[in-house]
C-alpha cells in the first residue's frame, strides 16, 4: 500500500508541477489543485498507514501507534484542505478578472507574439 500511495503522490505532484509551468492560467490553477491533492495525501501518509484501526481508544488495547492510526495528520489534512480550497477559489476569481481585463488567458496577461 505504501508503494501505491507513493506512486499516486508522485504522479499527482509531477502532473501538478508540469501544469503549473504551463502558460495558460487554467492549466496553472489545475496544477495548483493537483499539487494540493498530492500535499494532502503526503501529510496523510506521515501518520503511518494502518488499515482498520481508527484512532478511538478501545479498552484493553494499548494506546500506542502500533494499534491506532495517528489522528494528528488527519486533523492537519482537514485544515490544509480547507485553506487550499479557499485560496484556490480566490485564485480562480483573480484568474477570471485577469481574463476579463486583459482579454487573454496567458499568465502574463499579454498575448503571445
Partner 1 sequence: MGASLPHLLVVPIVLPLLAAALMVLLGDRRARFKSIVNVGASLAGLVVALEILRRVDANGTAGAIGVYLASNWEAPFGIVLVADRLSALMLVLVGVVSLGSAVYAMAGWSRAGVNFHPLFQIQLMGLNGAFLTGDLFNLFVFFEVALAASYGLHLHGSGLARVRSGLHYIAINLLASSLFLVGLAMLYGVMGTLSMADIAAKLPLVAEADRGLLHAGAAILAVAFLTKAAIWPLNSWLVPVYTAASTPVAALFALMTKVGIYTLLRLWTLLFSADAGPSALFGASVFLYGGLATIAFGVLGLMASLRLGRIAGFSIIVSSGTLLTAIGFGATAVTSAALFYLLSATMAASALFLLVELVERTGTGDRQRMRDMDQAPGEDTNLDDDETPLVGRVIPVSLALLGLAYMACVLLVAGLPPLSGFVAKLALMTALVSPDGLSLPNAPAPTPETWWLFGSLLVSGLVATISLSRVGIRRFWSKADSPPIRLKVAEGLPVLALILACVALTVFADPVMRYTRATAESLHSPAAYIDAVSTTRPLPGPTRPNVEREVAP
Contacts of 12 (CB under 8 A, 6+ apart): 34, 35, 37, 38, 41
Beta carbon of residue 27, minimum distance to partner 1 (angstroms, whole number)? 11
Beta carbon of residue 90, minimum distance to partner 1 (angstroms, whole number)? 6
Q: Which residues bind partner 1 (CB under 8 A)?
A: 20, 25, 28, 32, 35-36, 39-40, 42-43, 46, 72-73, 76, 79-80, 83-84, 86-88, 90-91, 94-95, 97-98, 101-102, 107-109
Beta carbon of residue 39, minimum distance to partner 1 (angstroms, whole number)? 5
Q: What is the maximum span of the chain, computed from C-alpha positions, in angstroms?
A: 71
State in Å, rounded, how far the first CA of the chain is from the last one. 48
Amino acid at each position: 500500500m505504501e508503494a501505491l500511495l507513493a506512486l499516486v503522490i508522485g504522479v499527482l505532484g509531477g502532473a501538478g508541477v508540469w501544469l503549473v509551468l504551463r502558460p495558460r492560467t487554467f492549466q496553472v490553477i489545475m496544477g495548483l489543485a493537483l499539487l494540493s491533492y498530492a500535499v494532502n495525501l503526503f501529510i496523510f501518509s506521515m501518520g503511518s498507514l494502518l488499515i482498520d484501526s481508527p484512532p478511538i481508544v478501545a479498552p484493553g488495547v494499548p494506546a500506542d501507534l502500533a494499534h491506532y492510526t495517528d489522528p494528528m495528520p488527519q486533523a492537519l489534512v482537514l485544515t490544509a484542505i480547507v485553506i487550499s480550497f479557499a485560496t484556490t477559489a480566490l485564485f480562480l476569481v483573480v484568474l477570471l478578472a485577469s481574463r476579463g481585463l486583459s482579454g487573454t488567458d496567458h499568465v502574463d496577461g499579454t498575448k503571445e507574439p
